[in-house]
Amino acid sequence: MNIAVFASGRGTNFGAIIRAVKKGRLKASLSLLVSDNPKAGAIGRAKRAGVKVALVKREDFASKNEFENKIIEHLENEKIDLIVLAGFMRLLSPELVQKYKGRILNIHPAILPSFKGGHGIGDAFNYGVKVTGVTVHFVDEDMDHGPIIMQEAVKIRQDDTPESLEARIHKIEHAIYPEAIKLFIEGKLEITDRKVKILA
């Protein structure tokens, strides 16, 4: 199975996936990193790990459609079976989602459907909830939406800062994202009526 990871930033989840592949936990080929940001830390991680990089900048294209067509070209060239979003800061079009329906995973640093968007950790912290967490889900046409594969709660402590909370959430992300990917690779995820069943 060929995997493409999409990342716009530091790529810490990408790093966790690289480690899981190297250790043999994920029986798949990490074939491609797609990034829209030439300054993304994920690009350096990819180069160090020998993962092919496709840098596709939105500003180089007249339309979102042309931008995504270039991405699809890279995906098809590498015969990608699974797309893993790891801090990719652009919404995918319904057309791209449909093309890879049931084959795109995302991780979000909150317990969805609460605190959607690009600031899940800070939004939960500022709202004052006592519990937040991490969600891994299949991607559909809506933002931070789609059938949920797994979630793990993280309690917000009295002495937490946004930074300390973020560090604990990232630790959980790095543990459960490879696990969710492993379930997909092994064919153990079944979507029925918008719910995910994990097969034995």
- Which residues neighbour 119 within 8 Å (Cβ) at sequence distance 6 or greater? none
Distance CA 6, CA 84 (A): 6
Buried b (16+ CB within 10 A) or exposed e, 115-135: bbeeebbebbbeeeeeebbbb
User: H or E element: which one contains 192?
Assistant: strand 189-192
Q: How many CA atoms lie within 13 A of 144 on its CB side?
A: 18
Strand partners for 189: 198
Q: Which of 108, 119, 137, 170 is catalytic?
A: 108
Active site residue 108: yes
Residue positions annotated with a catalytic role? 108
